[in-house]
Structure 1
Amino acid sequence: MTPQDVLAGQFQRHRAHLKTVAYRMLGSLSEAEDAVQEAWLRLARSDSGDIDNLGGWLTTVVGRVCLDMLRARKSRREEPLEERLPDPLISRAGAADPEQEVLLADSVGLALLVVLESLTPAERLAFVLHDMFGLPFEQIAPIVDRTPVAAKKLASRARQRVRGATPSPDPDLSGQRRVVDAFLAAARGGDFDALLAILDPDVVLRADGGVLTGGMKVIRGAAAVAGQAATFQRMATSATTHPALVNGLAGLVNTIDDQLISVMNFTISDSRIVTIDILSDPDRLARLNLTHLAP
């Protein structure tokens, strides 16, 4: 076995963790994979004998790569990140592959990822690496070209934006599923009052159909969301609906003739739906790998 083979084996043991870091930084599974691949290329070109803590070194490199990618998005004047939903993580309970199990551990819901995407790149990096992965600010500071004190302030500002922006979901998955099933029954019946009964007064619906539909549409308030009853009814009656976990929460996958048409994610708090996120962008749906959902 060559030294490069040994190094590749060591990198592979960190790959799933690195992809989790990158996904929370970027909200994109394909870009997260690109960031991890770039970390491997940088490791392969480095003098690995000088690296004392490979996991910490790789996490720092992935953080720096992700920061560059986020800044590049802004410099290209792309559509603001809050105008699109992050990529969903979809699984069946207890049926995810090992890498996806790591991605789903302490899962970050789509609603929280939407909030993260409204932060500046430096704020997001400081918050994700410190609050989610426990990296010290002394290690984060060089990545963002700040002092540790300044990096701590970045994370603090991000924390203030995140705190309270999305309620904590009910921890009981079976309870979540009962509420989602009630939503589906009300949707199939086009029942405005039944929908209203399970929606939080301040519920937020985000629907991302991609560029062809004008990007993400946001509807706020129980009456306005329940007012989409006819749309929900068309969706529920024309498609085959499959229960799934979406970013670790009860959700739905909708297909027509075995073709994926939408993924729905629900945040449920105190037995009421507080957010509904619907991804129906055909280009992005086509890139999702759902083979692990097969029974």
Structure 2
Amino acid sequence: MTVHMEDVYREYKSLLFSLAYRMTGSVTEAEDIIQDTFLALAGTDIQDIHHVKSYLCKAVTNRCLDLLKSARWKREQYVGEWLPEPMLDASETSDPLQSVIAEEAVSYGLLVLLENLPSTLRAVFVLRTALDYEYSEIAAMLEMTEVNCRKKFSLARKKLAEAGDQAIVPQSNRTSSLVEQLMQAISKSDAMSLIGLLTKDAVFVSDGGGKVRAAIHPIFSDERITAFWMGVWPRWASHATMQIRSINGQDGIAVYSEGQLKMIIQITMNEEEDRIARLYMMVNPDKLAHLQKENG
């Protein structure tokens, strides 16, 4: 049976994007990798490829690993904390192709944790959990033994668990409620309400990329995080509006000013305490650019 490039593209685009996005934490870089992969595929005889899906996943994974090696230095030179690019969910986008891509959302907290994994461990974890590949298939893609593959997956799980299992918890009604209360507390500069939403050891991480003012280092504790927002939000209040949007599989806060998306706020919660454990703020305009077309 003849295989056509257009059919292959339509069938595997969203799956390959999910792989590349989880590996790189960047919508822009993931899209570039997918484009380069299909451009390279156009130069081969696709009829000679027996397992197209595995072939493409291996090609994308290798490109991601190469990118992460070259990106390590850039991220070491990055001004402030590096956070993944947020992504609107399928219900939030009017672009049919992006809707398909966004159907399998990955939590923002998990993306942050994946960023801290060594690249090979990240590849094994993503191929196993997101794409449901068998260990033998992953081992073949990454050119390692199946035993080594199982060890790396186990190590990845251990590191993620140590870093915070709450980041992998799916959206719940309580998460939505916390986001709503967070938006109200920040918008009203209500310090008492805000501090009541946070765990004592809460952590706040912001990413301005050196282009927009943001905290250079993480802020620790409920009191210091509250003090940050009480100092920052009054400068936004006169010209900014907040909306709750569905981002990376759960509700988040989008902040707009003069018709432009300026900030994304996302959380992970501590289910035992029923409070916010991690708070992430993205204000780097380069990492919000891909969302501007879906503005409002």
TM-score of the superposed pair, with normalisation by structure 1:
0.86
Unaligned runs of 5+ in 2: none
Instruction: Name the residue aligned to 1:263.
Output: 264
Residues 188 and 237 of structure 1 are in contact (CA less than 8 Å); yes or no, is this contact kept in structure 2? no
* CA distance in 2: counterparts of 1:68 and 1:224, whole angstroms: 39
Corresponding residue number in structure 1 for 2:221: 221
Q: For each residue in 1:203-225, what CA deviation from the matched residue of structure 2 results, as whole angstroms up to 9, or x when unmatched?
A: 22111111244785311222221
Q: Is the Cα–Cα contact under 8 Å of residues 189 and 233 in structure 1 kept in the other structure?
A: no
- The answer for unaligned runs of 5 or more in structure 1 is none
Q: Pick from 276, 281, 287: which aligns with 1:278?
A: 281
> Within 5 Å, which residues of 2 pair with 1:1-295?
6-74=4-72, 77-80=73-76, 83-91=81-89, 93=91, 97-164=95-162, 165-167=164-166, 168-169=168-169, 171-173=171-173, 175-212=174-211, 213=213, 216-228=216-228, 229-270=230-271, 271-285=274-288, 287-294=289-296
Deviation at 1:275, TM superposition (A): 1.6
Structure 2 length normalisation: TM-score?
Answer: 0.86
Amino acid at match of 2:251: A
Amino acid at match of 2:16: L
- The CA deviation at 1:72 is 2.0
Is contact 1:184-1:236 (8 Å) kept?
no
1:268-290 Cα offsets, whole Å, 9 max, x none, are 343421221111112332x2234
Secondary structure at 2:142's aligned position in 1? coil
Cα distance in 1 for partners of 2:92, 2:210 equals: 34
- Asked if 1 retains the 8 angstrom alpha-carbon contact of 2:261 and 2:292, the reply is no
Percent identical among aligned pairs is 27
Moved more, 30-39 or 187-196: 187-196
SS at match of 1:211: coil
Aligned-pair Cα RMSD in Å: 2.5
Q: Distance in 2 between matches of 1:87 and 1:119?
A: 17
1:94-139, Cα deviation, whole Å (9 max, x unpaired) = 6564443444444222221111111111111111111221112222
CA distance in 2, matches of 1:140, 1:24: 16
